Homo-oligomer: A and B are copies of this chain.
Amino acid sequence: VGAAKFLAGVVSNIPAEDLTVIGNTGDDALIHGLHVSPDLDIVTYSLAGLVGEMGWGFKSDTTHALTQMKEYGGPAWFTLGDRDLGTHLTRTAWLGQGLTLSMVTDRIRIALGVETRIIPMSDDAVSTKLTTVDGIQRDFQEYFVKFGHTEEIREVKFEGAAQASAAPGVLEAIRRAARIIICPSNPILSIEPILSVPGIRECLAGRRDDVFAVSPIIEGAALKGPADRLLPLRGAAVSAAGVAGLYQDVCRNFVIDSLDRHLAAEVAGLDMNPIVADTIMSTPDLAHKLAATVLETESGMPVS
């Protein structure tokens, strides 16, 4: 959701077709037979101006299917809007016909009038799996939605990542971009799956000077979601500087919130350029301004 808000800010600064989005598919799931790609959908619907009030799904969508599932006492923990189901049904049907996920994703964004290219990190299945401190294995959606990301986690891994390849266009986009931005997303659950696909991390490291990241952690806490609770799993401090450390090899320029300006020196100590900005995107205008800062700051030049 943070990434989608930020991306909307980006395309309010530059032509939408000048942006390419590489999306996480580690939280893709087979929900009651349907292939659901939550991150790709949130980004697509947001850039189409169709995203729901909660930051996901279509705005003004109905939930007649879900209501019927509840009437049966069926497993209705995953919210499926009716119009949203049209996306999942189409994706599942096209994948069943042999199309790749990137072909499906491209068709969907074009049909919704999105001029920004959206590419899944991989056309191969990579599944984020979590293990609770009690040793229970959870699929991402079980952990995140069914159990409301309240369980304490001792391990996060990306099943299938080692055997996966970057989707067509991913490495080319990174190599050719004027600037690469790591959005303010969960470093472990949203960004690391992308970096776990062989070739992507190395490719980004090769563009380190042109890579900018925005911290999703402000004053030691995530605005939303469990990012803060998961950072210790990677040996990182629960702070913007902790996130910076996770990106040190791939990112030269790191945006921290104004409330965290005291961390600038710590970030600089990682051979990273600290950029101080207002990162809480509570309005589209604030997202526009944050994106402008990230798009316009010269690499290596601190802003405060």
The chain A residues found within 8 Å of chain B, CB to CB, are 30, 32-35, 61-62, 64-69, 71-75, 80, 82-87, 89-90, 92-94, 96-97, 107-108, 111-112
Q: Are B86 and A65 in contact (CB under 8 A)?
A: yes
Q: Are A94 and B74 in contact (CB under 8 A)?
A: yes
Choose from B69, B93, B112 the contact partner of A86 (Cβ within 8 Å). B69
Given contact pairs A61-B64, A64-B62, A64-B83, A33 touches B69 in the complex (Cβ within 8 A): no
Q: Are A69 and B90 in contact (CB under 8 A)?
A: yes
Q: Are A87 and B64 in contact (CB under 8 A)?
A: no
Measured between C-beta atoms, what is the minimum distance from A80 to chain B in Å?
7
| A62-B82 Cα distance, complex, nearest whole Å | 9
Q: What residues of chain B lie closer than 8 Å to A75, measured between beta carbons?
A: 90, 93-94, 97
**What 10 A-B pairs are tightest by C-beta distance, nearest first?**
A68-B86, A74-B90, A64-B82, A33-B33, A33-B92, A65-B85, A32-B93, A65-B86, A82-B82, A32-B89
| A96-B31 Cα distance, complex, nearest whole Å | 10
